[in-house]
């Protein structure tokens, strides 16, 4: 593995900024949808039911209302999530793209209430929250 050259670092910063803009746009769009439509009537992917059932089977004790980052960031959790998400590489668009995920479902995106996740993780958590009615209180 070679280290990046100094002249390449501006490209990496530009890529990071592009990711951040795309992730924020995704988060803002999602919150607008939840606030306008509510969670129960929102379909996030063509395979919401499959994702939800597989997620509940593989992560039955994960508290989706208020996330614990250790359930995503520990070495054991990372390995389990990586194996889980690999099944969806060809089923979920941008399955491993970085996304922003709310830690506490009762709140909006903020510095204190946001963590980094993969797109498939975002879908699993938010589909579960929607199906369980946890996002309904956000509907205006």
Give Cα separations from 11 to 21, 24, 98, 123 (angstroms). Answer: 15, 20, 18, 29
Asked whether the beta carbons of 124 and 99 are under 8 A apart, the reply is no
Question: Looking at 14-23, 38-47, 107-116, which range is the least confident one?
Answer: 14-23
Specify the pTM. 0.85
Asked whether the beta carbons of 101 and 121 are under 8 A apart, the reply is yes
Tens digits of residue pLDDT in 72-104: 999 999 999 999 999 999 999 888 888 999 999
pLDDT at 72: 96
pLDDT at 57: 98
Residue ranges of domains in the chain, CATH in brackets: 8-138 (1.10.3560.10)
pLDDT at 115: 94
């Amino acid at each position: 593995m070679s280290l990046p050259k100094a002249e390449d670092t501006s490209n990496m910063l530009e890529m990071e900024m592009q990711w951040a803009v795309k992730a924020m746009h995704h988060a803002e769009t999602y919150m607008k949808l939840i606030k306008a439509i509510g969670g129960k009537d929102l379909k996030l992917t063509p395979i919401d039911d499959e994702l939800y059932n597989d997620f509940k089977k593989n992560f039955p004790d994960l508290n989706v209302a208020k996330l614990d980052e250790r359930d995503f960031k520990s070495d054991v959790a990372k390995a389990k999530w990586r194996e889980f998400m690999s099944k969806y590489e060809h089923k979920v668009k941008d399955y491993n793209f970085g996304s922003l995920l709310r830690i506490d479902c009762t709140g909006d995106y903020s510095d204190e209430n946001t963590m980094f996740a993969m797109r498939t993780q975002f879908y699993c958590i938010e589909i579960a929250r929607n199906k369980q009615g946890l996002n309904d209180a956000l509907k205006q």
